[in-house]
Amino acid sequence: MTTPETHPGNRDGKLNTLSVQLDEAVRLMAQAPSFAKPGKVRRVLDTAKRLLLVEGGCEVLECQAQALEAAGIFAGSDWACPQILVPSLTPYSLKSAEPDTVVVEALSELRLLAVALGHYEHPGVSVEQAHHYLTQVLAINLDLLFGVPSEAERTQQGRLALASRALVRHLAERIGYEHIIDRLIGEIWRMLRQRPIQVDDIKQMVTQIAVCRADPTIDLGASGQGADRLVSSLFGPTDACREDPGVGVYRERLRAMDQVALQSEATGFARSMHDTGLVSPYHPVLLRHLLDHSDHLLAEALGVSSTGRDCLLCYAQLIRAIIDRCVYPETAQAIYGLALMLERGILYQPPVAPGLWRQLALPISESCRQRLSLLYGQSPSAEARLMEGVLCMLGLPLGVGQGNNPTCQSARALSMWAYNDPDYLLQMVAWAARDDEIIIHFEGQPISSRESLSGLAAEIAPDLDPVSLVVVPHLDRIYAEMGRRCAGRDGDPHQWINPEFHGWWSGRGFRINVDVSTGLMDDLDGFLRHFYASYHPFYNGNQPVIHPQPAGIAVTDSAARFIGWHAITILRVALDPSDQMRVYFFNPNNDSGQNWGHGIVVNTAGKGERFGEASLPFDQFASRLYIFHFDPLERGALADVPAEELQAVIERIRGSWGIGRLPAAELQAEEGEPPEA
């Protein structure tokens, strides 16, 4: 039935009226001086909300995206910097009972849609980044795309729930329904190949795929091929739980199984876990059941090789205690961390097993308990959640992510300790969780996280693994305090901070190719020759990287535009399967696969990478490097790098993050003018 309000003529007339009103509101806001802009925001938001509820309104807002941002609609909010936005947080904004939050989130998504479609060249976000972000947004909000508002949504949001759904529907139509599921599946596999510790978002995406595939009213067409392995890894990895019967039913089935059936179940779970990096909630049920059986079946269920099996047998009592106290369906990923920790053989390091026994009995502070419970809930206990995080970090030291926090230094430190000094990591966790304080010495003087001023992050976002959630706030304050103690020194403070903050193995030698006082390039040729001499096996006597080394890169987008400075870890330098020399490094930014422009696309799999590693050809990596450490006693002569290779690296620098950083003499030389005397 067509009502007067929904009649096409009336609807189009209303859309045109609202469009004119939006134009006027945006114009007034853009013309207003900065102190008066807040008074103009209300009219813009109210008009935008009404447009979201009218068919065709999203398209109008998309066309106005650039003008809205230029007028200052996002100023002073998290949305002002789209490059730091996190897709996993969008459901909270789009389902908020606060109209302004829903509207601003919608305007932000429509802005990124305009960028993704090439209609708006944004200085902070590339086309690829915008498209990648929106694909994740659609994946996480598939329920808004296919379902109808729930009773809770209708009660809390009223008609505003329709606005959120109209937005997601518009995003899907503009990007293409046929690509959503397939792109989502591809995105999930791309992320899983990096083996992150935090997989909650990925599990949520897989769950949405399962819901869509099971809904007869949703026609995916030819999409969704290849999703079986993902869905089954969570909801039915073995024959006994193939139809997802629930953990209670599965537990009863296990009690009726003989040794052969249990062996089959153990093998099936292990194969699925190591194939995807995801652990089914049914897997802990089996593992706990097997505590009453032989260690052989436990090893089968963990999927470990002879190394891990021997480690399990040597420390069987510890492993059984860990499973008993912290492995539950809610902490299923602990199993994968445990398996990979055994495979690393780090329990044979004398302090690690005692450190884990201490962790099992560790009394944690009330503030730590509240922090963990607030994010993960009351059941299982905060102690079990923290132990899950410890196992995952020890098993996947390169899976640490900084989340939506400016704490790449702290995330890098946690990864480096888990990778290179696991008992030190356990000590840090004990101090932070039990004492609510960490003390690290800087140049002989203690720095207390409790007594230090605020860190780089005003507030730590909760999108972190349990260990990071507990430890990073302390490390962030200590790192910032180290920076304050370096104030007034000539040069970059990382020269003194990194070895003290990360560990003795960080080289005391330090090179930077930017003059800190002026921001201009400084001795590029010498910097690059020194880097080749320190790290390239063909120029350093085939000396491998022995300890992971902190380094700094200038991050650029796909258009080679400078984004910012970022902390990474150089792990190793080696020939890849095609005999190309590559730098393998750790990037704490949650997703290492990035396009840095000039054909520099960071690789995460297929070029000899281990789980969690990123890699680039040596010369491409060198073109984005601005800081590295070295052992001053092993420096040697500068490398005699072929002039053409060195020049290619320098040109990549000058054409990307080096724009505007060339010294006057070099600029004049490029322009053919003689340098000033």
Cα 341 to Cα 197: distance, rounded to the nearest angstrom: 13
Compare 557 and 229 and report the one with higher pLDDT: 229
131-135, 181-185, 326-330, 426-430: least confidently modelled range: 181-185
pLDDT at position 2 is 37
Distance of CA 358 to the CA centre of its chain: 30
Tokens of 600: 């520099």
Q: What confidence tens digit (pLDDT) does each residue in 158-194 have?
A: 778 888 889 998 998 887 655 677 777 887 888 899 9
pLDDT at 513 over 60: yes
HSE-CB for 182 with a 13 A CA cutoff: 10
pLDDT band at 635 (very low <50, low <70, confident <90, very high): low
Tokens of 459: 């507030």
Cα 347 to Cα 341: distance, rounded to the nearest angstrom: 8
Q: Which residues contact 336 (CB under 8 A, 6 or more apart)?
A: 273, 277, 279, 392, 395, 396
Q: Which stretches of 123-159 are DSSP H helices?
A: 127-140, 142-146, 151-157
pLDDT at position 675 is 38
Cα 98 to Cα 7: distance, rounded to the nearest angstrom: 30
Domain residue ranges in the chain: 8-175, 236-348, 350-485, 509-670
Please classify residue 23 by burial: count the beta carbons closer than 10 Å to its beta carbon, then call 0-12 exposed, 13-18 middle and 19+ buried. Answer: middle
pTM above 0.85, yes or no: no
Distance of CA 323 to the CA centre of its chain: 28
82-86, 114-118, 298-302: least confidently modelled range: 82-86
Say if CB 58 and CB 170 are below 8 A apart: yes
What does the mean pLDDT of the chain come to? 88
Say if CB 314 and CB 268 are below 8 A apart: no
pLDDT at position 674 is 41
Tokens of 7: 């009649």
Q: What confidence tens digit (pLDDT) does each residue in 210-247 have?
A: 877 777 766 666 666 678 889 999 999 999 999 999 99
Cα 621 to Cα 570: distance, rounded to the nearest angstrom: 10
7: number of Cβ within 10 Å: 11
